[in-house]
Chains A and B, each alone.
Chain A
């Protein structure tokens, strides 16, 4: 059974930093790209970025709204995905979901972790 468990959310002041983690199990993590998707309170889903697998050089893509401030990384030896968020803004407040690449036929989502950016 595929499981994705996010952690690391919390409250931070504007301009601060936070690092989210996602522990993956139930599939061959190293074979798949991984995404982060966020959802601001009462709003829709917004793709944050992607990190591809080793075969694709762990290349990354980011949404324009976070490019230059957020960094996605992974540790295949630990089946873990990370999201380093720097220069946080109030508009970054959201539930952040870890999303697998296509495992079998479709993607899987974690339960999310809440990030609140407020002074």
Chain B
């Protein structure tokens, strides 16, 4: 059972907007920065969103992040087939003194 809760799966059709949620607590998301990672099959995770809402160079602006209270969200608009991947949220947990990851959401583009 992950400290951060993510739905195990999500889906959408090309062009649609999909939102992936990450639910945490006051010891992690509420007071610390959330990061989102995209993991394509057979590859290492790649940073998609850092410090809650910022995109690294090269990440399309179709990807956006937000945070409110003890939850964070990743929105993907204009869904494309190459967005099929597993998405993880991550944040430092002050109570555990460790970094915690969500269980991952597998996104399928129908």
Q: Are the CB atoms of A109 and B98 closer together than 8 Å? A: no
Expressed in whole angstroms, the minimum distance between the Cβ of A110 and any Cβ of chain B is 7
Q: Which residues of B lie under 8 Å from residue A107 when comparing CB positions?
A: 35, 47, 50
Which residues 75-119 of A have a CB within 8 angstroms of B? 97, 102, 105-112
- Interface segment, A7-15, A19-27, A41-49? A41-49
Partner of B44, one of A35, A61, A111: A111
Task: Decide yes or no whether B63 CB sits under 8 A from chain A.
Answer: no
Expressed in whole angstroms, the minimum distance between the Cβ of A52 and any Cβ of chain B is 12
Closest 5 pairs between A and B when the two form their complex, measured CB to CB: A106-B50, A47-B99, A45-B101, A44-B104, A106-B47
Complex: how many Å from CA A102 to CA B103?
A: 22
Q: Are the CB atoms of B99 and A44 closer together than 8 Å? A: no
A residues apposed to B, CB below 8 Å? 35, 37, 44-47, 49-50, 61-64, 97, 102, 105-112
Q: Which residues of B lie under 8 Å from residue A47 when comparing CB positions?
A: 90, 98-101
Q: Which residues of A lie under 8 Å from residue B104 when comparing CB positions?
A: 44-45
Complex: how many Å from CA A108 to CA B47?
A: 8
Closest chain A residue to B47, Cβ basis: A106
**Most chain A beta-carbon contacts within 10 A, residue among B45, B56, B104:** B45
